[in-house]
Structure 1
């Protein structure tokens, strides 16, 4: 395979691995305090309290539901009146950001294994007399998600590191088949953890948002998933999967050993039966095919018989004296 084709065979999966890494990096950058709305929209889920706050401030909120809902509604209304509630909360992988009138004005410190606790962030623990008043539909999913964030953070980090390692090691894949095999193994690991991160993120955030949406809708509070970040997660999975397939194909593009050059005719390694003297010049040899070789041997044999007979009849002391019946398949003339 030519060098250009070999380079293309290695370059293609490397670009795909780089695209996977970029998708994961964009997911990691979500929650950075910036004026760019594109990065602001990379949240895993959003809680919108603007409608609830508007009704509380205008005294138009009608209390409906059981006593449990009324008990939880009171601290919510108090937090809204005290200015502790923002219009919306965007929850990211590392932190959350909040704001009013569609503009972010605060982002929490970024930390590993982060989870959003509305009881704390909405300052409900100051006015909520007893924790039992928190609806189970809000509390249970939050506790389950808190445990799941540990696994979620680990798989995201491993997916990012393994994809970066596949790119670095892939630079050596063009040199040898061993490098290509090692890169394929690393790419398989990166694909596994990228897929695990996408599945875990979709299941954990989807379950949490589904439970909170059902629980908070009676309070005129809207909760919904962020479509862009999940699209990036699964796009990273697609890039990583195709990259792994191409890395496995690259093992066929790289030769396991170098090809040996053909030795010139007459040197060691060629059968002596295929070489015959031409009798012209020093070390003059020529490789013949089977028919030409047979004809040449017959002519040489007939020529030697005539010489040996002439020498024997003459009683001389020629070079073939005493060796009239000898056969010499090779003859070298200096």
Structure 2
């Protein structure tokens, strides 16, 4: 399998190729539009087959006096003799006139802002020998036609020039949207502060957006005016009050050219978002798009474009506030846990309604998690129960009971066990195959369960027995803890608190301060040896939650009752076999489920302990929220963290620097839950 960095570069190369292809196509579209506009502009100017037949209006005056008039043949012949032509052909710059038997005999000189006045021309050609009575309404129509022709001329010339410029400007246009990844991307200008990147990109793209809009607008309006002008001329000469036999015909070729140019400019204008969506779909097919969503007390679920900070979709959750969110491993569905029910939304669909609702709890639902293949879902609730649901049928499969409201529930990577914790501080392990509680950790009477303490255990699964080993306990925050989350690579521990902060704790033995502390401890231990090579018996290592530690917690020793008694919790229950067992009896674990279990990373030696504080090493404190921080979510590479707070904001943090990459604003009340899935493969 290719490394993530190679996949990222390949995906970036594909996106870059798509952008280049899109710009070339758009330039070609503008080139075609310009050719058609040019034919419209220079039509009727030269005696060439295509140009001579490209005109706006054709007037047939061969029999200007109707046959119903006495001596009409003689009058028409006389009119031709004194200068009236059989037809008049009008272009954008000039008009041409001629006879049916001789063709075009004369064209006027090209003139800017030209307009064709048929009354003046015919009166001049008839001289004073004849007069034509023109009604007032006809005169008014011709006045409107004159104004419209001036606008048509100006708009067509402007559109032609702008389209010509667009041919060469388009290849250098700035994309209107940044790439949608949680991590930074080669397309992002790293010199711009992350908070200003969307504004910076928008400002750079705005001139091109306005430019392409004006091109399409001018071309369409000019074509519309030309079409309306023909209607005006047709109305003038077909008016019953005008006793003349004049037929007006619209130049079909020019009409086709102008509307083809309008359509091409409109397509070129609409192409950027179309190309962006196509690039997004192509990228999604390979890497599966980043899904980031938040929810809270304003009864809405918001989907965000991770890097740009744009809210791309909003779902209403009218029944209640949303307490927890969870995305299925295949990124197809989003579960929203509210008051007494869980709603399942289709992420790929535009349907705002849930596709399934799971009902059965009698109080707020506090936790939700999916099986690795999405076949079943587990929920916890303040009603004191943990329930397992079949996501295909929506039916309830298991129901486990606590003696207190349940705060959360998670699925063990072996997909055969559940771990749940309640408000009384009790932690229980449930075997799905046997449908029993196999382990129970109960806090001692003097332990404050509503505190800022973090307790860490290891679940060591041997061949025939699962052992729960205490690793460490430490004060993470001075106020209530609201969320504790392990990173996907098991190298970081995130804690959220009512003290308005989130903290990142190290679990990695290779963490530089941990390496330095271990080296110092080893040096100190060496210096404590006597000349006979025995250790100094007065040097006692610190004890972390009942486990002896000299800078690294020992997690390889077998837990005894003495160890557990020394900790803040007592363990009740048998250490029976907890092999991974699927939900349905008789069903064997799938290949994906086995891979999920076998690929789960662990820290074999336990997390390193800071000897100066007796706690885990604190990597960074994420300060920026103004109120309680309720929830958090790691990116797939464990390099970024998204937090949500009662201050209405969600924030994306870069853990290496502890800085805010993006801030998501849109909730009207507190945001209390977040879900993020940017894995390249289902997980």
Structure 2 spans left out of the alignment, 5+ residues: 1-11, 176-186, 188-200, 280-306, 308-490, 492-506, 534-538, 542-549, 552-607, 609-683
Q: How does 1:38-187 map to 2 (within 5 A)?
A: 38-50=50-62, 52=63, 62-64=67-69, 78-82=78-82, 84-100=83-99, 101=101, 103-122=103-122, 123-129=125-131, 133-136=133-136, 138-173=138-173, 180-187=205-212
Distance in 2 (alpha carbons) for counterparts of 1:99 and 1:241: 38
| Cα deviation digits, residues 75-117 of structure 1 (max 9, x gap) | 86533123x2333211111111123337333211111222222
Q: Secondary structure at the match of 2:172?
A: coil
Q: Secondary structure at the match of 2:116?
A: coil
Distance in 2 (alpha carbons) for counterparts of 1:251 and 1:125: 64
Name whichever of 18-27 and 119-128 sits farther off: 119-128
Q: 1:221 to 1:303 in 2, by over 3 A?
A: closer
Instruction: Determine which of 226, 231, 236 is the counterpart of 2:256.
Output: 231
Q: How much does 1:227 deviate?
A: 1.5
Distance in 2 (alpha carbons) for counterparts of 1:216 and 1:86: 23
Structure 1 spans left out of the alignment, 5+ residues: 258-273, 275-288, 316-322, 330-334
Q: How much does 1:26 deviate?
A: 0.9
Q: Secondary structure at the match of 1:313?
A: coil
Distance in 1 (alpha carbons) for counterparts of 2:531 and 2:540: 11
Larger Rg: 1
Aligned to 1:222: 247
Q: How much does 1:9 deviate?
A: 2.0
Distance in 1 (alpha carbons) for counterparts of 2:244 and 2:173: 58
1:211 and 2:429 are equivalent in the alignment: no
Q: 1:216 to 1:94 in 2, by over 3 A?
A: farther
8 Å CA contact retained: 2:89, 2:97? yes
Aligned to 1:260: none
8 Å CA contact retained: 1:7, 1:174? no
8 Å CA contact retained: 2:54, 2:251? yes
Distance in 2 (alpha carbons) for counterparts of 1:216 and 1:96: 26
Q: How much does 1:64 deviate?
A: 2.7
8 Å CA contact retained: 1:305, 1:324? no
Q: How much does 1:219 deviate?
A: 4.3
| Cα deviation digits, residues 214-247 of structure 1 (max 9, x gap) | 4699644322111121122221221111111124
TM-score where L is the length of structure 1: 0.66
Instruction: Determine which of 516, 527, 547 is the counterpart of 1:308.
Output: 527
TM-score where L is the length of structure 2: 0.35
Q: How much does 1:305 deviate?
A: 5.9
Aligned to 1:264: none
Instruction: Determine which of 33, 41, 55 is the counterpart of 1:28.
Output: 41
Across the aligned residues of Structure 1 and Structure 2, the Cα RMSD in angstroms comes to 4.4
Matched positions, count: 274
8 Å CA contact retained: 1:89, 1:97? yes
Aligned to 1:14: 27
| Cα deviation digits, residues 237-295 of structure 1 (max 9, x gap) | 21111111124567898xxx9xxxxxxxxxxxxxxxx9xxxxxxxxxxxxxx9367799
Q: How much does 1:138 deviate?
A: 4.9
Distance in 2 (alpha carbons) for counterparts of 1:89 and 1:203: 19
Distance in 2 (alpha carbons) for counterparts of 1:128 and 1:313: 137
Q: How much does 1:188 deviate?
A: 0.7
Aligned to 1:284: none
Distance in 2 (alpha carbons) for counterparts of 1:73 and 1:211: 23
Distance in 2 (alpha carbons) for counterparts of 1:187 and 1:22: 17
Please identify which structure carries the higher helix content: 1
Name whichever of 242-251 and 115-124 sits farther off: 242-251
| Cα deviation digits, residues 174-223 of structure 1 (max 9, x gap) | 69956544222100111111121111111122221232134699644322
Distance in 2 (alpha carbons) for counterparts of 1:112 and 1:75: 36
8 Å CA contact retained: 2:90, 2:96? yes
Q: 1:298 to 1:174 in 2, by over 3 A?
A: closer
Please identify which structure carries the higher strand content: 2
Aligned to 2:312: none
Greater RCO between the two (CA within 8 Å, min separation 6)? 1
